[in-house]
Amino acid sequence: MSPLGGQGLRANKTVKMCLSYADALFSPHARQNLFDVIKSRLLAKGGLLIFGTDKGKTQQSGTRAEGKVKEVLDELNLFYTCAPSQQHRDFRNIGNIGLDIEVKKSDKGIIKCNDTRPPEDVFYIVFLYQKSTEKSKHKPCIWFGTGDELCGHPELEALREVDIAMENARKIAKSKGLGNLKLYPRYNWSVNCAGLSGKIELDPEQ
């Protein structure tokens, strides 16, 4: 036993943690490595069940999910900025290395992204099926990955065709003959999370 007892053990753990952060920050894959550190701490903390949505107040439950991630960032003493209200990339430039994290929550397994398709350079933490019971088909779980993984690695050519179709629709909407009506077609992206691989099941009793 160290002469410092518990304090010595805690100091050793702190040194090891600091070294892991240093490795994350200076690796060629710095953002992925730092994201993995955050992921490990979040899973170790537990308490990741965020039960349901009260009377349709989806933003409140989403804020609780973001709060779980914020706790970890603060515990790790990482620099970050928060996105303005209703904007994506909830936590930005984490660790001053350009790591952006978006936090999502869905009890039904469908993530609404509105007009912003998940960017491939953003990392996602997704809380899923939090209202599930023992009889439910899907169990409460959490998923970690990039925007490209979240979208199922869509083909660039297919995405380009969608962009062209949307641009054409906007041109048509600007055409004459609509009287006093105005129309602006916009994206309404959503992600079906049922097929995501690597979901981590949560203990309903935690």
- Indicate whether this model's pTM tops 0.85: no
Give the number of domains in the chain.
1
Quote the DSSP letter at residue 190. E
Residue 63 lies in a domain: yes
CB under 8 Å, gap of 24 or more: what pairs does 6-12 form?
A: none
**Domain span at residue 78?**
6-154+188-201
Neighbours of 126 (CB within 10 A): 22
Residue 54 has pLDDT above 50, yes or no: no
Q: What is the DSSP string of 143-180?
A: EEEEHHHHTT---HHHHHHHHHHHHHHHHHHTSS--TT
Q: How confident is the model at residue 148 (pLDDT cuts 50, 70, 90)?
A: very high
Which tokens hold the place of 46? 């537990």
Per residue in 63-108, pLDDT (tens digit) is 788 999 999 999 999 999 999 877 889 999 999 999 999 999 888 8
Q: What's residue 16's pLDDT?
A: 54
Distance (Å, whole) CA 124 – CA 151: 11
Over residues 106-118, mean pLDDT? 87
Residue 55 lies in a domain: yes
Residue 130 lies in a domain: yes
Residue 52 has pLDDT above 70, yes or no: no
Residue 41 φ/ψ, nearest 5 degrees: -65, -40
Residue 173 lies in a domain: no
CB under 8 Å, gap of 24 or more: what pairs does 62-66 form?
A: 62/103, 62/104, 62/105, 65/103, 65/104, 65/105, 65/125, 65/127, 66/90, 66/91, 66/103
Angle at 37 between CA 34 and CA 38, to 5 degrees: 90
Residue 89 lies in a domain: yes
Q: What is the mean pLDDT of the chain?
A: 81
Residue 160 lies in a domain: no
Which residues have C-beta within 8 Å of that of residue 129, sequence separation ≥ 6? 106, 107, 108, 109, 136, 138, 139, 140, 141
- Sheet (strand 141-146) strand order: 81-82, 91-94, 99-106, 123-128, 141-146, 200-201
Residue 140 lies in a domain: yes
Which tokens hold the place of 154? 């869509």
Q: What's residue 138's pLDDT?
A: 78
Residue 171 lies in a domain: no
Over residues 141-165, mean pLDDT? 92
Q: How confident is the model at residue 57 (pLDDT cuts 50, 70, 90)?
A: very low
